Amino acid sequence: MRYMTYTLLFSLLALWAVPGHATTNVGTAGAQFLKIGPGARVDSLGGAFGGLANDVTSIYWNPAGISQLEKTSFSDTHTIWLADIRYNYLAFATPIKNVGTLGASVTFLNVPDTEITTLAKPDGTGLWYSAYDTAVSLAFARELYAKESGVKLSLGINAKYIHQQIHRESANGVAVDVGTLYHTGWRSLRIGMCFSNFGPEMRFSGPDLESGSEIAGDPRTADYRPFPDTTNPARTAALETIEFPLPSNFRLGIAYDVIDSGDNLLTLALDANHPNDNSERLNIGMEYWFKKMAAIRGGYKFRLGEDWQDDEEGLTLGLGIHLTLGRRLLSLDYAYADFGHLQQAHRVSLGLQF
């Protein structure tokens, strides 16, 4: 097991060392809403959650993490995103004895209605269109084995259905996330890996892409009578849109409790990300709990490579509180993220364990 630990740590360092400017492929993937991570807690940690993965939002970050849940859990995240975009994420998971943990999530992003303009009416036509994105997923995780030394290994999978809508045009697709979570047994060190959004390409289609109809024969000639074998039926022509890949990502993360003295818990987390449509990213986060009731969090997102100065993401901060209501645990989290010239984003999450 120590060999596995050293191998994973070496992989993390190797991924960190990859030059981010080699192949960025910026703008080559669609369904970008899938890259908006849920959970105010995780966002305030700078998105460093692959090795921690100990709440229900792990369905998104590393589905193997929901195997750590001991109670039925629910989470609702509301995000005031950039440009007045609204992002909502609902997640639910329940452990089943001797089976594993089942989970489900719903992601919904909507853009404010926009007035339709044309070349003839650049100031607006009086007609409006809307756009929204949706993803529905089902997850399953199971602890494969656990030893008295603290060594544990869990595996998780998350299958999702994706739908995007712009006015009357839409695109549909499916994707799979696969993750593992390994408790090394050396103190509190945990290592997580997840490959997300693996699936076929998507393509938009809809009635507004149709360009008209083609009718056999020449309507200008009244006595035109083609032979039956040369008559073509009426058919509609449509513009063919280009297929686009999903924004897949490989995440490798570690988490370690620097202080764990009962009343005080200080955890450090680090994630390395290798996306298919951008340069590599390194996320770091820190979380401090006092008596498991109140938390202070901070994080930072680094883009690796020569274009790191052009990155708008950076500092993240947040707070959390746990309230015990009998056998139920209510959690409330807030996160602030700095996007530079794009200003800020705010997240609020409400969680319940019962």
At 301-350, the pLDDT tens digits run 988 765 555 566 789 999 999 999 888 999 999 999 987 777 788 999 99
Q: Does residue 1 have a pLDDT over 70?
A: no
| Domain regions of the chain by residue span | 2-18+38-289+314-353
Q: Which of 148, 163, 190 is nearest to 62 (CA)?
A: 190
Q: How far is CA 164 from the centre of its chain?
A: 15
Residue 311's pLDDT is what?
63
Written as six digits, the tokens of 352 are: 């319940």
* pLDDT at res. 78: 92
Q: Are 348 and 53 in contact (CB under 8 A)?
A: no
Q: Are 334 and 348 in contact (CB under 8 A)?
A: yes
**Beta strand 328-338 with 344-353: parallel, antiparallel or unpaired?**
antiparallel
Fold of the CATH domain 2-18+38-289+314-353: Porin (2.40.160)
Nearest residue to 44 via CA among 322, 324, 345 = 345
Quick: pLDDT tens for 165-218.
Answer: 999 899 999 999 999 999 999 999 999 999 999 999 999 988 888 765 444 444
Instruction: Choose among 235, 242, 295: nearest CA to 52.
Output: 295
User: Across residues 261-274, what is the average pLDDT?
Assistant: 94
CB atoms within 10 A of CB 202: 22
CA distance 64 to 319: 25
Q: Is the pLDDT of residue 12 over 80?
A: no
User: What value does the mean pLDDT of the chain take?
Assistant: 86
pLDDT band at 19 (very low <50, low <70, confident <90, very high): very low
CA separation for the pair 38, 180 (Å, rounded): 19
Q: Which of 4-13, 96-105, 158-167 has the lowest mean pLDDT?
A: 4-13
Partners of 295 in beta bridges: 289, 320
Q: Which residues pair with 277 in a beta bridge?
A: none
How far apart are alpha carbons 255 and 267 in whole angstroms? 7
CB of 95 within 8 A of CB of 70?
A: yes
Cα–Cα distance measured from residue 177 to residue 156, given in angstroms and rounded to the nearest whole number: 8
Q: What type of residue is 250?
A: F
For residue 235, the model assigns a pLDDT of 61
State how far the alpha carbon of 225 is from the alpha carbons of 62, 197, 216, 229, 231, in Å.
66, 55, 10, 12, 9
Task: Supply 55's token pair.
Answer: 């709440």
pLDDT, greater one: 121 or 140: 140
**DSSP for residue 9:** H
pLDDT at residue 241, rounded to an integer: 83
Please compute the mean of the pLDDT values over residues 24-41 and round it to a whole number. 87
Mean pLDDT to the nearest integer, 113-119 = 88
E-state strands within the chain: 73-80, 86-96, 100-115, 128-146, 152-166, 169-183, 190-198, 210-214, 235-238, 249-260, 264-275, 281-290, 294-303, 315-325, 328-338, 344-353
pLDDT of residue 77: 95
Q: Note whether 21 and 306 are within 8 A (CB).
A: yes
| Residue 217 pLDDT | 43
Furthest C-alpha separation in the chain: 96
Q: Are 261 and 285 in contact (CB under 8 A)?
A: no
CB 342 within 8 A of CB 38: no
CB-based contact 107:38 (threshold 8 Å): yes
pTM of the predicted protein model = 0.84
- pLDDT tens digits, one per residue of 279-302: 889 999 999 999 989 999 999 998
Q: Are 318 and 336 in contact (CB under 8 A)?
A: yes
Which of 155-159, 184-188, 267-271 is predicted least confidently? 184-188
d(CA 123, CA 192): 52
Which pLDDT belongs to residue 268? Answer: 97
